[in-house]
Amino acid sequence: MSKHLQHDLERLERQLLGLGARVEDAVRRSIAALESRRADLALEVMAGDSEIDAVEVEIEEECLKVLALHQPVATDLRFVAACLKINNDLERIGDLAVNIAERSSSLDRALPFPVPEDLRPMTETTAGMLRMSLDAFIRADVRLARRVLEEDEIVDDANRRIIREMVTQMKSSPEQVDDALLILSASKNLERIADHATNIAEDVVYMVEGDIIRHRGAELQGSPEPRRETRGS
């Protein structure tokens, strides 16, 4: 690998991690706005979306530049391809955080509404999946990426419990239907964020092993020992 290519790949990696940190913060703040009914915090998340979008475009342009200038092969090529896909997933996660924030700003502050107990653990698991998937990317760690895939079922289960709880709440307190629907929407958006974190983990497996594992489900369990490669091999 040439020094110029190595330098550009390292810069690309730093940019992607910076975007990941922004997106993770947006997710956490959007849920905090929901739980505390802080419209000002929700507005901050919404205002920050344009910056996330701008960084996403910059990273895509950087990826295309690396492809055009260096014509990378093997692991280097898979690294750039993974960056393009992860970049898109992070931007979508940012949009989902905005969706949660928009709904948070609509909650009735004057009408107390019980936030489901599962929402905070679900948020922590989802944010943890995002962080873990980015750590797996940095370390080229397939084992860590597969842990993210396992965590996805935890988020799905929490989403199902919240749905059941909100349906029960709407039946018992019809006057709180609007707030319950907002909670349902937030839970669904968290579940979709976890799906995007799973996508990132799958991209890490592709980057390291050259193996496309989408849509395999339970087949991922008991996978063979990952083979490690260095860039350019």
pLDDT level of residue 222 (50, 70, 90 thresholds) = very low
pLDDT 10s digits, 6-28? 999 999 999 999 999 999 999 98
In the numeric block, the tokens 């790949």 are attached to 9
Q: Which amino acid is at 65?
A: K
pLDDT at position 111: 54
pLDDT at position 38: 85
pLDDT 10s digits, 24-64? 999 989 988 888 878 889 999 999 999 999 999 999 999 99
Whole-angstrom distance, CA of residue 211 vs CA of residue 224: 12
Q: Give the chain's domains with CATH numbers.
A: 3-219 (1.20.58.220)
pLDDT level of residue 164 (50, 70, 90 thresholds) = very high
Check: CB of residue 31 under 8 Å from CB of residue 187: no
pLDDT level of residue 108 (50, 70, 90 thresholds) = low
pLDDT 10s digits, 183-203? 899 999 999 999 999 999 999
Q: Which amino acid is at 95?
A: D
Q: SS3 for 215? A: coil
In the numeric block, the tokens 């974190």 are attached to 197
Q: What angle (nearest 5°) sits at the alpha carbon of residue 138, between those of residues 134 and 142? A: 80
Candidate ranges 31-35, 161-165, 214-218; pick with highest mean pLDDT: 161-165
Q: Which of 125, 204, 135, 132 is nearest to 158 (CA)?
A: 125
